[in-house]
Structure 1
Amino acid sequence: MCARSTTTFLIISILQLAQQVVVAQPGQARSPIPTEAQKVAKNVRPKAIEAHMRYLADDKLAGRKPGTPGYELAAQYVEKQFQTLGFKPGVATPGSPTGTFRQAVPLRKAQVREEVSSLVMIRNGQAKALTYGKNFFLSPNFGRPISEVTAPVVFVGFGVSAPELGYDDYAKIDVQGKIVACFNGAPATFPSNQRAYSGSAKAEVAAARGAVGMITFSLPTDVRARIESNAPRNRQATYRWTDARGQVQRTFPQLAVLASLGDSTARLLFDSAPKSFDEARKAANLGQAQAFPLMVSFRAKTQTELTDGLIGENIVGLLPGSDPKLKDEYVVYVSHLDHLGITPDRRPDAAKPDSINNGAHDNASGVAINLETARLLASLPKAPRRSILFVAVTGEEMGLLGSDYFASNPTVPRASIVANLCLDMPFFFHPLLDIVPYGSEHSSMKGAVEAAAQFVGVQIAKDPIPEQSVFMRSDHFSFVRQGIPAIYIKSGSTTGDDRDGTKLNLDWRATTYHTPQDDMNQPFDWNAAARHVQLQFLIGYLTAQADTRPVWNANDFFGTKFGPLTKGR
């Protein structure tokens, strides 16, 4: 790729000359949206979105990997935009009357030392050493450099405990002091979002029940989860954020081994077991909870190289609210600024090798749309009643680290954050005729989403790719974990022509996602991007103006698990 170089002069020129176009008309004459907000929404500038993206996805930013000069250029750009719009620094600084736009995110890096780590299967007193990278991979232990354990293995189905959904693999087995083994994923009978969450919470569930390790493997049909498919990723370093005491978060050091097995190796676990691998697979496919001891033990040793002192940065801008009381409550917009940096070009037939992961769609697009949304909010005749925070977060590609840090250590009182709006890869490669508002079914924010969609003239659709677990895969979920209602909007599948939007999406994920080909040479639809701005603006505006803050729906899965009355969030 030879992306066109974008100079600061070009950016400024495009922004100054951007057309004040009307991208959408009200769906009905009687709209719940005030006239002044309608006027502002119509002033969205598609050219401004493109200009922001061209800068953030330029080769000179080298893929915006946290800790690199390219990420710093991106951070400076966003910070300058906030300043130009009149936003205030969103991070208080001791001794400074003005504060800063930068929130430091302390990180720990962990890398498994493969050559001195091992996994040995023991059956009937006979030990069989497995081969790293062929039979298994290990996850690092963030709690200690050397982690060792020998323990019997018990099979626990999907490793899911969800009694509220009538399912619990742990209901009839004691795993104290044992290594649990389980399939990746969760029962297909679960609703999509609950399935995604349950599939991600296995380590937490195992640790809470006293297990000393966990081994996972995929169902034969789940090709994406196999270690063969994820070998390059499994060998990468892993990162977590640390708190003020230097303690690593979102880890479970009591699990002395975290391993993933290849398919043929996983089948060996079931030799002489109460059920065969195929019987266990069939029960899993039927959504039947199951657990039984396997006639095997494992001896595991994980050596981890740990590196502290790494710092990421979130960029936080504040638009103070206008209501004397409600200004102390906040609506938070978030989009991730980071991407993958430079990686080898894996295309053997590439005429011109390209190693820069520009991250145009992922996620220069989300940042650009939120920057234009910030401009619309700042241009209102009167600021919204509640205050608005815009946060460009770091470390999303490392595991939602920047957003999780912010949501766990917010720059304003956590209880004062009433809602979150996230934007990440909204997919505007065709006209925006329908949207999938992930999260709207869980809270009262659904009303604002419906009003905004009606004004913009888009339909609301169901998730066309529930198997992708989209609800768990971006920064809004960091806020859900803290009991904060959140919305994450992506394009639907209607294109207005003979193209299949779902197929376009899946093909893009298969060929372009997380590759250097995600650059500015793609066929973006800038009017569709502008409609995303209108949606972001109106949903946030209506939420900020409402007399009452959003609430979780009664008995909602996520509201019950993480809501304000839930302890230990």
Structure 2
Amino acid sequence: MKGHRIALALSVQLGLFQLASAQTTSLTIPNEAQQAARQVRPEAIEAHMRYLSDDKLAGRRPGTPGFELAAQYVESQFKTLGFKPAGQRGTFRQAVPLRKAQVREEASSMALIQNGGEQQLTYGKNFILSPNFGQATSEVSAPVVFVGFGVSAPELGYDDYAGIDVRGKIVACFNGAPATFPSNQRAYTGSAKQEIAAARGAVGLITFSLPTDVRARIESNAPRNRQAIYRWTDPKGQTQRTFPQLRVIASLGDSTARSLFATSTKSFEEARLAANKSQPQAFPLNLSVRARTQTDLNDGLIGENIVGMLPGSDPQLRNEYVVYVSHLDHLGVGRVVKGDSINNGAHDNASGVSINLEAARLFASLPKKPRRSIVFVAVTGEEMGLLGSDYFASNPTVPKASIVANLCLDMPFFFHPLLDIVPYGSEHSSMKGAVDAAAQFVGVKIAKDPIPEQAVFMRSDHFSFVRQGIPAIYIKSGSTTGDDRDGTKLNLDWRATVYHTPQDDMNQPFDWNAAARHVQLQFLIGYLTAQSDSRPVWNEGDFFGTKFGTNAAVR
């Protein structure tokens, strides 16, 4: 009854708001979509979440019985809703072959060579290595060149590599990217250092943090950074998004990083000041590094995406697809925290899967299905590096060129009323029109990113689609709570104390009314996109559209 009262109140509120919003939005929401949106069931969201985050699923780690239970649950929901299998071989499943790589620390080493002497470094204290996916034993000895942030972005008027040849050399750089870049572009360029270094002919990459970036130091991240890394492999067994030509990829501690500049023409402090001013820079460090990385490689794990499709109603447009994603996996069983070791992942991301399942139900309830086909994918391996979504976006079970848009949901943050939203990605494409229309109908405002330093635009499954040139939207709650609470502080406190711990369970103060609004937003944005005569396009001159899109100009 409580859930029914919430749904009724929400329906009444939406009915009143719709009268005002219909006159202010340029996109019209048809009556059948309005009616479907009003039928959202907060209690269904809660029921899905309770099952998916139950202890018996043991944290839904890929390759475990708990993940299989979660996959079976999502598959059963698709069947109940009348969705068609859209995986491989007439099933709801898409296999995602994964390769595991783990540095064998006792057989790996790194040394600084300068002024005729050699300084051996200590693993875990001075440096940490990333595994090499191309070979079990990777060795290199080469001079080191400092390249600022290691960023090459001429389209943003910045290039650390301008005027310097790094072929056959190891490049060293600060973590992050220039502060003058827009938030999303800063997040992307800061993550592309390996790709840029390899493209310039470097044979290694060394990174370290600015003194103020305490979160990025190896001292803070050593336990996580020393874990195994996974990547997906193609049918030829080649590991994707790896750069084996970089024969050493290392992170240095703060004091060790400073020592690199001992005999260079510029000091660490001078380099830091230039970086803080967003000035491109590059110069030799007048030392060499000798490194050996021993990697244990294993191909034993197969992840699975769960894929269901609601065929479209238009004879031509039904062969185009709006794809929804939310990650089904979480961290499994880990260390004991406050007496519990099961990382249930209620908010991360049973919530996103559950909201998308309810949105799928709204689509299925329509008297006439949308013109374009709707595909829902519960992806694996997000916690391992967006692996399931990257695999699907790179190897979709429908024609890639026919995927017109992506909507992602991951930890939307509904611990307070949903009064404003941050629609990551909407500023990059024509999907902004659908986002604005849905937000006006639901009665939420559009807000700016309150935590740009968290690089949210890069951290969930929508970005896998952006890489393939597909416009994508990822909605999270804004910071307005309607009372004296600070929504940004609530978010940051949750990330600091609950995120990726066993305390992310159902014993949290979820606002189910807010969750229902997320359903309506997901449904309406996708519906308007599926109904439109033209597919979404990147804004003219957009950074991501230019870099990844096949048609960056607005038609």
- What is the 5 A alignment of 1:424-463? 424-463=410-449
- Cα distance change, pair 180–287 in 1 and its aligned pair in 2 (3 A): same
How far has the Cα of 1:272 moved from its partner?
1.7
Is the 1:121–1:296 contact (alpha carbons within 8 Å) kept by the matching residues of 2? yes
Match of 2:216 among 211, 225, 230: 225
Is the Cα–Cα contact under 8 Å of residues 99 and 301 in structure 2 kept in the other structure? yes
Note the C-alpha offset of 1:22.
3.4
**Pairwise CA distance, 1:235:** 1.2
Deviations 1:190-249 (A, max 9, x none): 000000000000000000000000000000000110001111111110000000000000
Rounded to whole Å, the distance in 2 between the matches of 1:521 and 1:389 is 32
The answer (yes or no) to whether the contact 1:341–1:357 under 8 Å persists in 2 is: yes
1:22 is the counterpart of 2:10? yes
Q: 1:563 & 1:112 partners in 2: Cα distance?
A: 36
| CA separation of 1:16 and 1:467: change in aligned 2, threshold 3 A | closer
Match of 1:370 in 2: 356
Structure 1 residues 252-291: aligned runs within 5 Å: 252-291=243-282
2:231 & 2:546 partners in 1: Cα distance? 26
1:18 to partner: Cα distance: 9.9
With over 3 angstroms needed to count, the CA separation of the structure-2 counterparts of 1:49 and 1:466, relative to structure 1, is same
Aligned residue identity for 2:537: V
Is contact 1:22-1:43 (8 Å) kept? no
- In 2, distance between residues paired with 1:451 and 1:319? 23
Amino acid at match of 1:46: P
Contact 1:216–1:259 (CA under 8 A) maintained in structure 2:
yes
Structure 2 CA distance for aligned equivalents of residues 412 and 503 of structure 1: 41
Q: Is 2:72 the counterpart of 1:76?
A: yes
Runs of at least 4 residues of structure 1 off by over 6 A?
13-18
Checking the alignment, whether the CA contact within 8 Å between 1:15 and 1:51 is kept in structure 2 is: no
Q: Give distance in 2, aligned partners of 1:325 and 1:216.
A: 50
The residue correspondences of 1:230-241 to structure 2 (distance < 5 A) are: 230-241=221-232
Residue of 63, 80, 90 corresponding to 2:86: 90
Q: Partner of 1:6 in structure 2?
A: none
* Structure 1 contact 14–48 (Cα < 8 Å) conserved: no
Structure 1 CA distance for aligned equivalents of residues 467 and 268 of structure 2 = 35
Cα deviation, residue 406, structure 1 = 0.0
Look up the equivalent residue of 1:297 and give its one-letter code: S
Q: Which residue of 2 aligns with 1:216?
A: 207
1:170 matched to 2:170? The reply is no
Determine the structure 2 residue equivalent to 1:54.
50
The one-letter amino acid paired with 1:153 is V
2:295 maps to 1:329: no
- Rounded to whole Å, the distance in 2 between the matches of 1:16 and 1:390 is 26
Instruction: Go from structure 1 to structure 2 and tell me whether the alpha carbon gap of 1:17 and 1:105 turns closer, same or farther (over 3 Å shift).
Output: farther
Distance 1:226 1:264 in 2: 11
Give the corresponding residue for 1:549. Answer: 535
Asked if the contact 2:148/2:281 (under 8 Å) is kept, the reply is: yes
Identity within the alignment, %:
81
Aligned with 1:271: secondary structure?
coil
Q: Distance in 1 between matches of 2:243 and 2:467?
A: 17
Q: CA deviation at 1:477?
A: 0.1
Say whether 1:180 aligns with 2:176.
no
1:491-534 superposed Cα distances (whole Å, 9 cap, x missing partner)? 00000000000000000000110011100000000000000000
1:376 counterpart SS class: helix
What per-residue deviation string (whole Å, max 9, x for no partner) do you get for residues 228-286 of structure 1? 11111111100000000000000000000000000000000000211110110010000
**Alignment map for 1:35-46 (pairs within 5 Å):** 35-46=31-42
Q: Mean Cα displacement is larger for which, 427-436 or 17-26?
A: 17-26
Q: What SS class does the counterpart of residue 218 from structure 2 fall into?
A: coil
- Measured after TM superposition, the shift of residue 329 of structure 1 is 0.1
Provide the C-alpha distance between the structure 2 equivalents of 1:438 and 1:249, rounded to a whole number of angstroms. 26
- Letter aligned with residue 455 of structure 1: F
Asked whether the equivalents of residues 414 and 514 of structure 2 are also in contact (C-alpha less than 8 Å), the reply is yes
TM-score (norm 2): 0.96
Query: 1:131 corresponds to which residue?
Result: 122
Give the superposition deviation at 1:565. 5.3
Residue aligning to 2:474? 488
Deviations 1:384-432 (A, max 9, x none): 0000000000000000000000000000000000000000000000000
3-state SS of paired residue (2:75): helix
Residues 14 and 70 of structure 1: CA distance in aligned 2, closer, same or farther (over 3 Å) = farther
Match of 1:202 among 164, 187, 193: 193
Aligned length: 544
Match of 2:345 among 355, 359, 362: 359
CA change 1:205–1:39 in 2 (3 A) is same
Q: Counterpart in 2 of 1:9? A: none
Residues in 1 aligned to 2:140 and 2:402: alpha-carbon distance in whole angstroms: 44
Look up the equivalent residue of 1:49 and give its one-letter code: I
Q: Provide the secondary structure at the position in 2 that maps to 1:385.
A: coil
Q: What RMSD, in angstroms, separates the aligned Cα atoms of the two structures? A: 1.5
Unaligned 5+ residue runs, structure 2? none
What letter is aligned with 1:507? D
Q: CA deviation at 1:309?
A: 3.0
- Report the AA paired with residue 535 of structure 1: L
How far is the alpha carbon of 1:125 from its aligned partner? 1.7
2:180 maps to amino acid: T
CA–CA distance in 2 between the matches of 1:419 and 1:302? 40
CA distance in 1, matches of 2:180, 2:83: 46
Q: Distance in 2 between matches of 1:219 and 1:429?
A: 34
Are the equivalent residues in 2 in contact too, given 1:104–1:313 (CA < 8 A)?
Answer: yes
1:17 Cα offset (Å): 12
Say whether residues 1:294 and 2:285 are aligned partners. yes
Q: Distance in 1 between matches of 2:10 and 2:532?
A: 26
